[in-house]
Amino acid sequence: MAGPLYARYIPEKVAAKATTTAPPAEAPRAQQPAPSARPATKEKRERERPKKRKRDKNDESEEEEAPKKHKSVLSKFEKSKRVADAVREEPEQAAETIEEEQPELHDLVPLPQPDPVPEPDYKPTFSALPPWLAYPITVTSRATTPFSTLPIDAKLVSHLSQKGYTDAFAVQSAVLPLLLPGPKHHVGDICVSAATGSGKTLAYVLPMVESMRQRVVTKLQGLVVVPTRELVAQAREIAELCAVGTGLKIGTAVGNHSFVSEQEMLVKKGRRYDPEKYKTLQARAKERILYGVAEQDTYLDDAVDMLPGHVPEYESKVDILICTPGRLVEHIQSTTGFSLDDVRWLVIDEADRLLDQSFQEWVGVIMAALQAEKPYEKMSARDQVLSKMWYPPERRAVRKVILSATMTRDLSKLDTLKLRRPKLVVVEDAGESLGQEANPQDGPAATSGATFELPPTLKEWAIPVGDGADKPLYLLRLLQTRILHEKVPKARVRPDTSIVSGSEDDDEDSSSVSTKSSSDVSDTSASPSSAASSSSDSEANSSTSESETDSSSPARPLKASTSQAAHPTNAGVLIFTSTTESATRLSRLLAYLHPPYTPQVALLTKSSATSAGRKTLQRFRAGHLRILIATDRASRGLDIPELAHIVNYDIPRSVTSYVHRVGRTARAGRAGEAWTLFTDVEGRWFWNAIARGEEIKRGGRKVERVKIVPDERREEYEEALGRLKGDVEGAGR
C-alpha cells in the first residue's frame, strides 16, 4: 500500500527572513583586496589575516548566540514542564492548552488527499460456530398449532384434547413437523433450546411414540436419558399419555429398585434351537471348568442351563426406556441380553447438565453401544443375506434429540454425541416467524451465543437483605405479606413494603431508595448474635446439592404475557437454599419464629428418600403443604404447573441455576413470581449477571427491586437462634 505523500515544507515566515537577511554567498570575497598587487608571502599573510579575523568574528557571534540557544532550550523545557503540571492538575484544561500550543510544523506537510470512501457498517458474516449453531431455526414463543393439523393419529389427538392438550406449544409446533413424517421432516438430529415449562417433554415423546405405533415385536427402540429420578417419572407420565392404546411398553431405570429386579423388568430370557452354537458354548463351558478360568460370563452360565441343542436368547421387555445415565451404564455393562442394537431414538433432556457430568464416562459408553455392529442372528433376513454376500450391513440411523432450557453451545461437549446433520431450534420471545431458519446472508443470529430465555409470564423481584444476618426475618416478612398473604398483627408491623424498579445504582446502596419507609429501613443493619451470622451467611457460601419427585400435568394454553396469563392455583411457595444443611436450618428457624408454619413446612433435599420425596411432592401439589424448602436438585425439570411463587433464599451459584430455579413457576403459560434475596456482597453479581446480564433474555421485562422491612422481633429471633444452636449441639453429641 502506498504511504502518505509528503513534500518539503518551509514555513512562510522563515522563507521570507531567509531571503531578506541572508548575505549574498560571494560577499566576503568581493570585499578582499586584489591579490596581484602584493608579494607572495605577504600576500599569503594578508590573505590569512582577514580569515583569522573572520573566525574571531564567528567565535564572537557564537558566544553571543549561546545564551540565546540556552534560553530557547530553557523556554521549551519550561513550556513542557508547565504542560506536564497542568495535565497532572486539570487534565481537561491541559488538553485544550496542549491543543493551543501545537508546535510549528517544519519540513513535512501532507499533500492534499481525496476524501475517504465511506465504508458500510461492519457486520460479521462469519461465526466461530458451525452453521447449524450460528443459524438456528427461531420460533416465537407465542406460536401455537392445533394438534389436529399435525400428522398424528386421530385417536391420540382426541385423547390429548380430553386431557386439555388441544394446541401444540411453540416448541412443539416447531419440533413436531421436523420429527414426524411430512414435508418438513428432517433426516438428522435436532437440538432444542426453549424456556422452562415450555413443553419440551411432549415435543420429543410424541413423535417417538408415533414412530413406534405400528411395531409388532417389543424391541428397545427409544432411549430417554434425564438427570434425575423425578424427571424420569415426569417423562414417563407424558410417554404413557401419548402411548395410550398403542400397547407400547415403557420402562424406567433409576435405581429405586434392586438391580436384579430392574434387570428382570427390562430383559426376558428365552431360548432358540441352534445345535451348532450350542456345541461351541458347551465346549467353552467345559474349558472354563477344566482350566479353572474364573471369568464371569453370565451368558455362558445361562447357556449351561439350556435344553440340549438350545442357546439362550434375550428379548427386550420394553419399547421405550427412560433412565438416568448412571443406571443405563450399569445395565449396558452388567445386564446380560440388554443391548442397544435396535435403538432408533436417543433423547437427552437437560443436556447441558448431563454433558457436564462425566459420571462413569456415560456418553462414551452409550455411543459405543449404539455404534456396535449388530450380531448376525439379530440382523433382519435381508441384512443376513447381504452380509453373506460381502455387503456391509446397513448402519443403523439413530435419531438424537438433545434438549435444554439452557442449551450448551460448547462444541467440545456436543461433539461427543456425534450428531448427524444437526439442526438447532430456538424458541424465543422476540422471534418473528414460525419455523424460520436464519439466513446466513444476515450474519450470525443473535442467538448464536448461549442466551437463555425466561418464560414470558414470569415476574421477577429482588430483595436486598443487608449483610444477610437477618435473612430469616426478611423471608418471614416476605412470606406473610407478599406470598401467603397472612394477616399480620398490627403492633408488630412497621411501615409496609415498597417497590422500586431495579436501576443502575440503587442495587448496591439500599439507603439510597427514596420511599416513605426509608428511615425505617436503615435499622436492618443491627447485627444479631454470632450464631445468627453463622446460620445464614455460612450457608450462602457452601456447595450445592440435590433432590427428587414425580408429576401430573393438567394442561392450559400458553399465554403471551403476565397480564393475560392464567393465575396458578397452588397457594404454596418453593424456597431454594444452597445446601441441604441450610434447608434444614431454615425449616427449623421458620417453625420456631412462626409456630403455625410447623405442619406446613417440608424439605425436599438429596437426603430425602425417593418415596418420602414423592409423598412430600404429592402433598405440596395437593396444597396440604404450603412451604417446600429444596436444594438445587429440585431446580431442574420439576413440574408443579400450579406453583405461583419461588424464592431464592440463598442466591443461585450460576446464571443457569437461576434460570432453572425460577423456571419452576410460570410454567405452561401460567403466571408466576420469583423472589431473590441478595446480600450487600452478592448485589453486584446479581444485578450485573442476572438482572442486567446479556445471558438472560426476558423480552424487555425487568427485575424489580422490592424493599422489605422485617418485623422487629429481635428477642424472638435471638431465642430461635439459641434453640437452633441447641438442636445442632444436641445432634452432635
Q: Shortest approach of ligand ATP to residue 628 CB, angstroms?
A: 16
Q: Which of residues 239-278 bind ligand ATP (CB under 6 A)?
A: none
# chain residues binding ligand ATP, by CB under 6 A? 24
Among 145, 201, 657, 665, binds ligand ATP (CB under 6 A): 201
Q: For residue 672, what is the enclosing H or E element? A: strand 672-678
Whole-number Å distance between alpha carbons of 312 and 254: 27
Binding mask 619-658 for ligand ATP (x = CB under 6 A): ------------------x-x-x-----------------
Asked if 169 touches ligand ATP (CB under 6 A), the answer is yes
Please say which residue, 409 or 661, places its beta carbon nearer to ligand ATP.
Answer: 661
Please say which residue, 405 or 690, places its beta carbon nearer to ligand ATP.
Answer: 405
Q: Shortest approach of ligand ATP to residue 188 CB, angstroms?
A: 22
Centre a 10 Å sphere on the Cβ of residue 266 and count the other Cβ atoms it contains: 21
Q: Shortest approach of ligand ATP to residue 214 CB, angstroms?
A: 24
Asked if 337 touches ligand ATP (CB under 6 A), the answer is no
Is 220 within 8 Å of 319 (Cβ atoms)? Answer: yes
Asked if 405 touches ligand ATP (CB under 6 A), the answer is yes
Is 298 within 8 Å of 338 (Cβ atoms)? Answer: no
Asked if 444 touches ligand ATP (CB under 6 A), the answer is no
Beta bridge pairs of residue 696: 452
Whole-number Å distance between alpha carbons of 191 and 58: 90
Q: Shortest approach of ligand ATP to residue 366 CB, angstroms?
A: 21
Q: Shortest approach of ligand ATP to residue 175 CB, angstroms?
A: 11
Among 200, 594, 614, 633, binds ligand ATP (CB under 6 A): 200
User: What is the DSSP secondary structure assignment for residue 126, as one 8-state letter?
Assistant: -
Q: Which of residues 510-569 bind ligand ATP (CB under 6 A)?
A: 553, 555-556
Whole-number Å distance between alpha carbons of 478 and 474: 6
Please say which residue, 517 or 561, places its beta carbon nearer to ligand ATP.
Answer: 561
Asked if 597 touches ligand ATP (CB under 6 A), the answer is no
Q: Shortest approach of ligand ATP to residue 434 CB, angstroms?
A: 15
Q: Shortest approach of ligand ATP to residue 197 CB, angstroms?
A: 5
Whole-number Å distance between alpha carbons of 306 and 35: 141
Please say which residue, 196 or 616, places its beta carbon nearer to ligand ATP.
Answer: 196
Whole-number Å distance between alpha carbons of 37 and 226: 122
Phi/psi of residue 673, nearest 5 degrees? -125, 135
DSSP per-residue codes, 571-606 = EEEEEE-SSHHHHHHHHHHHHHH-GGGGGGEEEE-T
Stretch that binds ligand ATP, among 14-22, 64-72, 89-97, 194-202 (CB under 6 A): 194-202
Asked if 168 touches ligand ATP (CB under 6 A), the answer is yes
Q: Shortest approach of ligand ATP to residue 160 CB, angstroms?
A: 8
Q: Shortest approach of ligand ATP to residue 287 CB, angstroms?
A: 52
Is 297 within 8 Å of 214 (Cβ atoms)? Answer: no
Asked if 196 touches ligand ATP (CB under 6 A), the answer is yes
Helix ranges, 597-706 (H):
610-621, 655-662, 680-685
Please say which residue, 136 or 197, places its beta carbon nearer to ligand ATP.
Answer: 197
Q: Shortest approach of ligand ATP to residue 566 CB, angstroms?
A: 11
Q: Which of residues 660-689 bind ligand ATP (CB under 6 A)?
A: 663, 667-668
Asked if 316 touches ligand ATP (CB under 6 A), the answer is no
Is 608 within 8 Å of 616 (Cβ atoms)? Answer: yes
Q: How far apart are the first and last CA of the chain?
A: 83
Q: How many CA atoms lie within 13 Å of 447's alpha carbon, on the beta-carbon side?
A: 29
Cell numbers for 633:
436438585
Please say which residue, 535 or 551, places its beta carbon nearer to ligand ATP.
Answer: 551
What is the torsional sign of CA 460, 449, 668, 552? negative
Stretch that binds ligand ATP, among 193-201, 291-299, 501-509, 582-590 (CB under 6 A): 193-201
Please say which residue, 193 or 510, places its beta carbon nearer to ligand ATP.
Answer: 193
Q: Shortest approach of ligand ATP to residue 299 CB, angstroms?
A: 39
Q: Shortest approach of ligand ATP to residue 676 CB, angstroms?
A: 18
Parallel, antiparallel or unpaired: strands 436-437 and 345-348: unpaired
Please say which residue, 552 or 688, places its beta carbon nearer to ligand ATP.
Answer: 552
Q: Shortest approach of ligand ATP to residue 326 CB, angstroms?
A: 20
211: buried, middle or exposed (CB in 10 Å: 19+, 13-18, 0-12)?
middle
Residue 468, Ramachandran bin (φ over 0: left; ψ between -120 and 50: alpha; else beta): left
Cell numbers for 398:
439413530
Cell numbers for 402:
438433545
Whole-number Å distance between alpha carbons of 342 and 220: 6
Q: Shortest approach of ligand ATP to residue 166 CB, angstroms?
A: 7
Among 136, 197, 312, 572, binds ligand ATP (CB under 6 A): 197
Residue whose beta carbon is closest to ligand ATP: 553
DSSP per-residue codes, 439-501 = PGGG-S-GGGS--EEPPTTEEEEEEE-TTSTTHHHHHHHHIIIIIS-PPPPGGGPPS--EEEE
Stretch that binds ligand ATP, among 102-110, 163-171, 317-325, 535-543 (CB under 6 A): 163-171
Beta bridge pairs of residue 499: 706
- Please report, for residues 146, 227, 364, 698, the alpha-carbon distance to residue 361 in angstroms, rounded to integers and kept in the order given: 41, 14, 6, 36
Please say which residue, 242 or 303, places its beta carbon nearer to ligand ATP.
Answer: 242
Please say which residue, 426 or 709, places its beta carbon nearer to ligand ATP.
Answer: 426
Q: Describe the crossing of helices 200-212 and 170-179 by its angle, rounded to 10 degrees.
A: 30
Asked if 227 touches ligand ATP (CB under 6 A), the answer is no
- Please report, for residues 232, 323, 365, 401, 678, the alpha-carbon distance to residue 358 in angstroms, rounded to integers and kept in the order given: 19, 16, 11, 20, 32
Q: For residue 146, what is the enclosing H or E element? A: strand 145-146
Among 202, 212, 479, 671, binds ligand ATP (CB under 6 A): 202
Q: Shortest approach of ligand ATP to residue 181 CB, angstroms?
A: 20
Please say which residue, 201 or 679, places its beta carbon nearer to ligand ATP.
Answer: 201
Please say which residue, 621 or 667, places its beta carbon nearer to ligand ATP.
Answer: 667
Cell numbers for 345:
431414538
Please say which residue, 133 or 205, places its beta carbon nearer to ligand ATP.
Answer: 205
Q: Shortest approach of ligand ATP to residue 548 CB, angstroms?
A: 14
In the complex, the residues that contact ligand ATP under the rule CB under 6 A are 164-165, 167-169, 172, 194, 196-202, 405, 553, 555-556, 637, 639, 641, 663, 667-668
